[in-house]
Amino acid sequence: MSQIEIRSSVELPSRREPVTLITEDGLNLVAELALPETVAPTATLVMLHPLPTAGGFMDSHIYRKAANRLPALADLAVFRFNTRGTESPQGKSEGTFDGGVAERLDVISAVNYVHSRNLPNVYLVGWSFGTELALKYGPDLDVLGAILLSPPLHRTTNAELLRWNLVEKKLVALIPEHDDYLKPAEAAQKFIQLDSIELINVDQAKHLWVGESATKRVLDEIVKVVNPGKYPLPEYF
């Protein structure tokens, strides 16, 4: 049997389910759950997308590729959704963008949904604006931790950061060398007050993680945290 080279937009086998999330304030959010095809997932990723007013949504390329690859390669459940007012090729969620404030209800709804499906070992994965949601609300949620991709730290207050010192949750941040907002040296200073964050500086990378090498590095680091027995990811399937 010929092998599939894992590149670009290849979609590996999985079970994909469209989902409608209903928030506490009555909004319908567009979502999708991707599950391993033949085995139970070992961990669950709740994906919090980049800034919708700058083109971020649940189908942003790293998240689309995570859903396309990680159920098959790492036995992970991948749950993506559009926050309120966000539109992507999957559809548009009801409501209006609120700068990360009312989006708290969207994140709560997503975490509650994966628990309602009895999915195991839930982690938040935030990218850019999504890292703000993870940092602001993660300490209060039933998750094992959060993985941050390109955190800008524009909306998270110092008090919200310090709350991570009060909980026993994993916190890992991938900092691109050439990030547009928070480069490694500045990130080290911003996060120095956190007791247990793991900062991973990624050489040559940029905020948007463009290119297959950047994609593979991000997905590898996610898998290393949530299902280390599947790290590193293979190049063929």
Dist. CA 90–CA 82, nearest whole Å: 9
* Close Cβ partners of 125 (under 8 Å, ≥ 6 residues apart): 45, 46, 47, 48, 66, 134, 146, 147, 149, 222
Tracing tokens 């506490």 back to the chain, one arrives at: 24
Q: Which of 114, 124, 49 is nearest to 87 (CA)?
A: 49
What does the mean pLDDT of the chain come to? 97
pLDDT digits (tens, 9 = 90+) for 115-166: 999 999 999 999 999 999 999 999 999 999 999 999 999 999 999 999 999 9
Whole-model pTM over 0.85 = yes
The answer to whether the CB of 135 falls within 8 A of the CB of 161 is yes
pLDDT digits (tens, 9 = 90+) for 51-103: 999 999 999 999 999 999 999 999 999 999 999 999 999 999 999 999 999 99
Output 135 or 3, whichever has higher pLDDT.
135
Task: Quote the DSSP letter at residue 194.
Answer: -
pLDDT at 1: 53
- Residue 2 above 70 pLDDT? no
pLDDT at 8: 84
The answer to whether the CB of 188 falls within 8 A of the CB of 181 is no
